[in-house]
Amino acid sequence: MDCVTVITNPTVSVRVTSTLSSFDVSRRFNRGITIAEFKSKLELIIGCPAASMDLQLFSSSDKFLQNLDDHEALLGSYPVDDDCRIHVIDRSGSLTGAFSDVSKVEKYEIPDELYEKRSDSVRNFKKNMKIGRFNEENMAKLEETLSQKENEEKAALALITVGKRCQVQVAGQPTKIGTVMFAGTADFKPGYWVGVKYDEPLGKNDGSVNGKRYFECEPNYGAFVKPLSVTVGDFPEEDYGLDEI
């Protein structure tokens, strides 16, 4: 006796992908339509001519099953189940991503002197509304605050000597103990910095940043912090009992 497979659900939900897009869409289709009719429906979804489509069927785990190449066969005659993926290969010669890849589009940049004269620009709006750098009063206060902080950091740095034991307290981080290994300006960021070798591997580097070495220590034991976060003093190295058995 021949075995008969009974399909109780006349429709099936599949994921559709294509060579024309990096996105996939989920749609429900009638199992009773032919592959030719199925391609016509896909044409509205993918934007690829039905006559230029090759269809591949993948399982829900993305394992290739077979090609859907019989135009007269019913969609349900193939092992198409819910969550399967049907991949559309476009043979029309369209360029993949031709409408989404803007890397090859020549960009126009308006000269600054012309942009300055425009009355409908964002810059002109900020000027009129005194926003950001166009608010002279706020900018003056900001510069004063930054200058004051820089002076405070410079004064704090003068009290920090390389070789001294220190405690580092950075907001949102646990207190750390270590040794001052560097004090001064650095190339990676403006301002004043203190290089510390921690007693524990709680740092971010080995004393070097962007290929430039400021001091020597083991990886993850070094860090650079602002002077106001550093307190020098008698901070003996804690004994964590690592030599005990």
Which pLDDT score is estimated for 245? 46
Instruction: Answer yes or no: are the C-beta atoms of 53 and 88 closer than 8 Å.
Output: yes
Q: Model pTM greater than 0.85?
A: no
The residues that bridge with 223 in the sheet, in sequence order, are: 196
Token digits of residue 31: 């199992």
Q: Under CATH, what is the fold of the domain 11-90?
A: Ubiquitin-like (UB roll) (3.10.20)
Task: Show me where the domains of the chain are located.
Answer: 11-90, 165-232
Q: At 132, phi and psi to the nearest 5? A: 60, -130
| Dihedral, 71, 75, 76, 82 alpha carbons, nearest 10 | 160
Which pLDDT score is estimated for 103? 62
Contacts of 38 (CB under 8 A, 6+ apart): 29, 55, 68, 75
Which pLDDT score is estimated for 21? 82
Cβ-in-10-Å burial (0-12, 13-18, 19+) of 233 comes to exposed
pLDDT averaged per 10 residues in sequence order, the chain, 245 residues: 56 91 88 92 87 92 92 92 92 59 69 84 81 80 86 94 96 94 95 96 96 96 96 82 50
CATH superfamily of 165-232: CAP Gly-rich-like domain (2.30.30.190)
Instruction: Answer yes or no: are the C-beta atoms of 109 and 115 closer than 8 Å.
Output: no
Q: For residues 172 and 150, what is the distance between their CA atoms, to the nearest angstrom? A: 22
Which pLDDT score is estimated for 23? 81
Instruction: Answer yes or no: are the C-beta atoms of 184 and 154 closer than 8 Å.
Output: no
DSSP state, residue 237: P
Q: What share of the chain is helix, strand, coil (3-state, %, to 5)?
A: 25, 30, 45
